[in-house]
A and B are shown apart, each in its own frame.
Chain A
Amino acid sequence: MNAAPAPAVELSDVSRVYSPGSADEVRALRGVSLRIDGGEFVSVEGPSGCGKTTLLNLLGLLDAPTSGELLWDGRPVGARSDRERARLRLERVGFIFQRFYLLPTMTARENVELPMRALGVPRAERLRRASDLLSEVGLSGRERSFPHQLSGGEEQRVAIARALANRPGLLLADEPTGELDSGNTRGILDLLTRVRAGRGATLLLVTHNPTVSARASRHLAMEDGRIVADRRGA
């Protein structure tokens, strides 16, 4: 299986409102327009509650805009059915979460295999690729370890291997080092930088940490549901 091409993703005047019309209404995104070309490394910064995760969820098709349009390679995808969006996520998006979100009842290898199983990759191919990926993230020999037997840094490495399993073109990382110490943070950033460059994938990384955002080639700053700065350069 070849790597999925990195899609150019575009938001056009996108808003996302939770519980509209109610007393609990939250306007998480307000008319955001943005284009990210394939292969870019973009960091998103901003205070808590400014809409960073909502932006990530929309780009990764975990959520749908209340208004506006989401385009992948110029084609609207935001309003597609749940099933179609799930298929796109499976084939083209790799998620990395702050809390790792490994399945606790599965071993490291089974966690990495999971997206490939869902895609119907043959068992032999799955096993080989899972081993290669775990080796690539520095976890050779830990294939049979369960998440609770791994350190935080190791868990995040497994999560990165899982995100890479179906060779996605778009990597979305939500505070991937938020729960790691500085040593592990550096290691994870090195790993993400390496795998992104090696695969030519787009990497969108949400962070509070200036050290982390410094690795990106483009920097978005958000406030109150809007992008208030879009700066290029390391």
Chain B
Amino acid sequence: MTPTGWGRGPRHARFQRFLAVAAIGAAVALPVVLISVGGGVSDHELHALENAGYQIVVSASGLHGITGAHDLTNRILGVPGVSFASPVLSIAIDAFNTSDSVSPILAEGVIPSQFTATLGPTETGLFPDPLPLGDPNDSTHFANGSYRGTPTYDVVVSAPYADQYQISVGQSIVLAPDDNLSAGVRFNVTGTFGPPFSFLQPTAAYAVLLPLSDLQVLTGYGNGSGTIVPDAADSIEVAVAGSVGGNPAALDRVAAAIQALVPSYSVSTLSQEAQQLESASAVLTGFYLALSSVGIVVGVIFLTLVLLRRVEAERRSIGIRRALGISGRSIAAGIVGDGAVLAGAGALSGVVGGYVLVTVLANHASSTVEEAARLAVFAPATLAEIVAGIVVLSLAASAVATRSALRIQVAEALR
């Protein structure tokens, strides 16, 4: 209770106050969930970047936009300071397992030795080393761009896929660019990789790794007539020597040297990627706040109405206080304090509600939502800013109610 008695009320008034707290709580819970989950996912991705086994990424616009991937990889490997360069081509294809049932699957074409060398510390344990894909340099089949050598027809499959279809090493599956079995090619399963599926991990649940040239030929991205993008890849991940990796200026020089090789492609260091990710995260956070502001505005309007209703209901009490000589400032302080308490209680309940909601989502939602919710980060400073912001906004609501209270004519209120 305030010194002048503002703040107590009958049951219906208490119910209105409860509703105001609930409205603000609901309005605050939304940004708490969005910002904590969004921030958590962003942090996770930043962490993944920081722990990657490569430092520079070459990419091109368009679908599988890098052409001449084998040749370009060799040229990049010739840049001083570069240790490894791993081209990656990712394409969704179809797999026919031992019982000839078909399922879509993500195929990644790689140069085995380069791929293994550019894995980060959190990924290395997921893949066999060396990758059992026959030709470690993928040069026999590619044969100077002619694809005249012998394909390995080796494939490494993801553990979830192998488990689902009871596929073991030594068996074979047919991979095809679409669900036409006659267009498929039989591959020998030489190993498995990966943990259980996580949409935030770099691999999909059903995935296969195979030599880059094998996948290019299988999907029509090798050389030859009808090929839209010859010797295609999506990106080339470049690892540099340790002395270069720890020196930003040297890393920039290596990136510039690679950029000179491929002026029409994008060449970025992971720190640049991280900055872009952080910028995107900041934009998303702003968007979340803008989205949440709608709910918050509604909550503050509700609070204003409750305070105004309260002033109207306590018109006589306010008149009595004024008649006794209690100053308008003191009455205003009571209303402002009441508004701040309601807003603060609402904001805190929203924070708690948001936390509970994220916890529930992390355990009982769909797998994708669960994964995201488990990454949620509840930053105390951010949550404190949200609570403080709501309390500040409550001042606007209180100002409206205070103005109304101070315009009450004492003599009229006591009639």
Which residues in A have some Cβ–Cβ distance to B below 8 Å?
A: 53-54, 57, 60, 62-63, 82-83, 86-91, 93, 95, 97, 101, 103-106, 110, 114-115, 117-118, 162, 166
Residue of A53, A91, A101 near B325 (CB, 8 A) is: A91
Contacts of A63 in B (CB 8 A): 410-411
Identity of the chain A residue whose Cβ is nearest the Cβ of B8 in the assembled complex:
A105
Identity of the chain B residue whose Cβ is nearest the Cβ of A56 in the assembled complex:
B411
- Give chain B interface residues in 325-364, CB to chain A under 8 Å: 325-330
Q: Does B170 belong to the interface (CB within 8 Å)?
A: no
CA distance A105 to B314 in the complex (A): 11
Contacts of B8 in A (CB 8 A): 105-106
Contact with A along B21-43 (1 / 0, CB 8 A): 00000000000000000000000
Contacts of B321 in A (CB 8 A): 103, 114
Q: Is the CB of A103 within 8 A of B5?
A: yes
- A13 CB to closest chain B CB, in angstroms? 21
Contacts of A110 in B (CB 8 A): 5
Q: Does B4 belong to the interface (CB within 8 Å)?
A: yes
- Give the size range of B's interface with the partner: 20 to 34
Contacts of A115 in B (CB 8 A): 324-326
Q: Does B241 belong to the interface (CB within 8 Å)?
A: no
- Main DSSP-derived SS at the A contact region: helix
- Main DSSP-derived SS at the B contact region: helix
Q: Could you list some 18 contacts between A and B, CB below 8 A?
A: A53-B411, A54-B411, A57-B410, A62-B410, A82-B328, A86-B326, A90-B327, A95-B323, A101-B316, A103-B320, A105-B8, A114-B321, A114-B324, A115-B325, A117-B4, A118-B3, A118-B4, A162-B324
- Give chain B interface residues in 361-403, CB to chain A under 8 Å: none
Identity of the chain A residue whose Cβ is nearest the Cβ of B325 in the assembled complex:
A90
- B105 CB to closest chain A CB, in angstroms? 70
- B221 CB to closest chain A CB, in angstroms? 79
Q: Is the CB of B5 within 8 A of A114?
A: yes
- Give chain B interface residues in 34-59, CB to chain A under 8 Å: none
Q: Is the CB of B327 within 8 A of A118?
A: yes
CA distance A127 to B25 in the complex (A): 39
Contacts of A54 in B (CB 8 A): 411
CA distance A73 to B327 in the complex (A): 23
- A54 CB to closest chain B CB, in angstroms? 8
Q: Is the CB of B414 within 8 A of A86?
A: no
Known: A62-B410, A63-B411, A97-B414. Contact between A118 and B9, CB under 8 A?
no
- B368 CB to closest chain A CB, in angstroms? 52
Q: Is the CB of B5 within 8 A of A101?
A: no
Q: Does B317 belong to the interface (CB within 8 Å)?
A: yes
- B15 CB to closest chain A CB, in angstroms? 15
Residue of B3, B4, B325, B411 near A87 (CB, 8 A) is: B325
4 shortest A-B CB distances, which residue pairs?
A: A90-B325, A89-B325, A105-B8, A118-B326
CA distance A33 to B120 in the complex (A): 97
Identity of the chain A residue whose Cβ is nearest the Cβ of B322 in the assembled complex:
A86
Residue of A62, A103, A114 near B411 (CB, 8 A) is: A62
Q: Is the CB of B324 within 8 A of A89?
A: yes
Known: A97-B414, A103-B5, A103-B320. Contact between A114 and B327, CB under 8 A?
no
Known: A101-B316, A114-B5. Contact between A86 and B328, CB under 8 A?
yes
